[in-house]
Structure formats: structure tokens, C-alpha cells
């Protein structure tokens, strides 16, 4: 049977690893040990599976795995990490709004905008210090389709896309935990909101108006925003 060895290898992978191959995503809650087992399974993929049809989605090895490892170091013995990852891409069914017609003038015959909202990563972690960390990463992609007739009467269609990424990180401090105002301001591209009360919460948000140049840069963006709420609590 074709691809027999690769199919056998996939059958032996972690169940969430298999979900990433076949469904391009998963939703699960596990302790740190469970996520370490997934990471170990994922690191075997390249050596055992070579068929493009069964390739891992982009962002898995260089974004999702290191992010899981980073957060897992702060989980308590009974702490759990919940992740919902949808790596099907912004063109997957259900992520796009209906096209919107825009006013045009000759020689343009028609112009439409289509917005796609892709919340591809949600994370919630119960940390060892009693705080709760939540991370949300959303890609908003606008696709503009322009139909234009040139002077020779030929119709041309052009498409242009523009992506904005929104990263939000909220940390709920333990009940009655004292706060702290950092000595330096956050980076200009990160906005921070502090809500006081019996359980203080700090939300850091960033809106990046260009796609990341690499998976490494994508991870750096998420970690930079995730670090900010920790500067607002007393150590």
C-alpha cells in the first residue's frame, strides 16, 4: 500500500498531533506533561512524514511549540494550559464576511472588499503564582477585488490583500495581590489597560499593520505583548 510507513507513523503520533495533520487545529486542556508529550511527538514529524498532504500547518513548530514551552514553565503542579489553535488559514469556510461593493468610476467596472477574521490562537493558563494568563491572536485580512477595462477593451482583474494582526494578553492577578507601576513605559506599539479591584487585571494589546516577516518574528511579537502584564505586578 502506498505511503504505508508514513501512515503507520502518523497513527503512532500524539492525538493532538494527528488533529493538526488532518484537521489543521485542535482544542485541548492539559497539564505541562501533556503538552511536553505533544511537543516530543511534533519534533518527530519531519523525519517520519514527507508527503506534502500530511505536512504540519505553518506556525506549529516555530510559533506554537516554543510558546507552549514558555508558558508551561510557569504552570503549577496542578496548573492546566488550555489551547485552541485553528491553523486552517484566513480563507477557511466561516472566516470571511460577504463581499461589500464599493463605489467606482470608469474605467473601473466593479470593486469589492472582503474581510476575513481569523482568530487562530487562544490560550489560557493557570500559573503557579495563582494568576491566570489569557492570550488571543487574530488576523484580520482585507481582500480587494478590482475589475477594470483598459483602453483596448480588455477586462483585467486585480486582487490586493492587507493584513492586520491583533494580539491581546490579559493577566488576572491572584486575589488581593498588590500591583506595581513599572519604571519605564511599554513600547509605543503596545497599549496597556489596568483594572483594579479585588482581583487586578492587566491587559496588553497590540495592533500590527503588516504580516510578520518570519515565524520567529511572529513569536517575538506574541512574547513581547505577553511580557508586558508581568511588569505591572509586585514580584
Q: pLDDT tens digit string along 167-211?
A: 999 999 988 787 788 888 989 999 999 998 788 899 999 999 999
Tell me the percentage of the chain whose pLDDT exceeds 90.
Answer: 79
Of 40-44, 110-114, 229-233, give the lowest mean pLDDT range. 229-233
Determine the pLDDT at residue 152.
81
The answer to whether 111 and 104 have CB atoms below 8 angstroms apart is yes
Tell me the percentage of the chain whose pLDDT exceeds 70.
Answer: 99
- Span 136-146, mean pLDDT? 96
Determine the pLDDT at residue 72.
95
Please determine, for residue 1, whether its predicted confidence score (pLDDT) is greater than 60: no
If you write DSSP's letter for every residue of 107-144 in order, what string do you get?
TEEEEEEEEEEEEEEEEEEEBTTS-EEEEEEEEEEEEE
Question: Within 13 Å, how many C-alpha atoms sit on residue 130's CB side?
Answer: 10
The answer to whether 168 and 204 have CB atoms below 8 angstroms apart is yes
Please determine, for residue 29, whether its predicted confidence score (pLDDT) is greater than 60: yes
- Span 75-100, mean pLDDT? 93
Q: Which residues pair with 118 in a beta bridge?
A: 139
Residue 90 makes CB contacts below 8 A (sequence gap 6+) with 96, 116, 117, 118, 139, 141
Please tell me the pTM assigned to this model.
0.90
CB atoms within 10 A of CB 203: 19
pLDDT digits (tens, 9 = 90+) for 41-79: 999 999 999 999 999 999 999 999 999 999 999 998 788
Cα distance between residue 10 and residue 53, in whole Å: 12
Cα distance between residue 158 and residue 47, in whole Å: 40
If you write DSSP's letter for every residue of the chain in order, what string do you get?
-TTHHHHHHHHTS-HHHHHHHHTSEEEEEE-HHHHHHHHHHHTTHHHH---GGGPPPTTIIIIIHHHHHHHHTTB-TT--EEEEEE-S-TTSTTSBPPPEE----TTEEEEEEEEEEEEEEEEEEEBTTS-EEEEEEEEEEEEEEEEEE-TTS-EEEEEEEEEEEEEEEEEEPPTT--B---SSPPPTTEEEEEE-SSS-EEEEEEEE-S--SSHHHHHHHHHHHHHGGGGGB--
For the chain, the average pLDDT equals 93
- Span 115-126, mean pLDDT? 97
Amino acid at each position: 500500500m502506498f505511503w504505508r510507513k508514513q501512515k503507520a507513523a502518523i497513527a503512532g503520533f500524539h492525538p493532538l498531533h494527528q488533529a493538526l495533520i488532518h484537521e489543521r487545529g485542535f482544542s485541548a486542556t492539559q497539564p505541562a506533561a501533556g503538552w511536553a508529550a505533544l511537543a516530543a511527538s511534533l519534533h518527530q514529524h519531519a523525519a517520519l512524514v514527507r508527503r506534502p498532504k500530511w505536512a504540519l500547518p505553518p506556525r506549529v513548530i516555530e510559533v506554537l511549540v516554543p510558546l507552549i514551552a514558555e508558558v508551561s514553565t510557569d504552570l503549577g503542579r496542578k496548573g492546566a494550559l488550555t489551547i485552541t489553535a485553528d491553523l486552517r488559514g484566513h480563507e477557511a469556510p466561516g472566516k470571511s464576511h460577504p463581499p461589500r461593493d464599493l463605489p467606482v468610476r470608469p474605467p473601473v467596472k466593479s470593486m469589492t472588499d472582503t474581510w476575513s477574521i481569523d482568530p487562530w490562537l487562544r490560550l489560557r493558563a493557570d500559573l503557579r503564582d495563582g494568576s491566570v494568563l489569557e492570550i488571543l491572536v487574530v488576523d484580520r485580512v482585507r481582500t480587494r477585488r478590482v475589475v477594470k477595462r483598459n483602453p483596448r477593451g480588455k477586462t483585467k482583474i486585480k486582487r490586493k490583500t492587507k493584513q492586520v494582526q491583533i494580539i491581546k494578553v490579559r493577566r488576572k492577578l491572584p486575589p488581593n495581590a498588590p500591583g506595581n507601576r513599572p519604571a519605564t513605559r511599554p513600547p509605543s506599539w503596545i497599549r496597556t489597560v489596568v483594572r483594579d479591584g479585588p482581583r487586578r487585571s492587566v491587559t496588553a494589546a497590540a495592533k500590527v499593520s503588516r504580516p510578520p516577516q518570519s515565524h520567529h518574528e511572529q513569536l517575538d511579537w506574541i512574547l513581547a505583548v505577553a511580557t508586558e502584564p508581568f511588569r505591572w505586578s509586585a514580584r
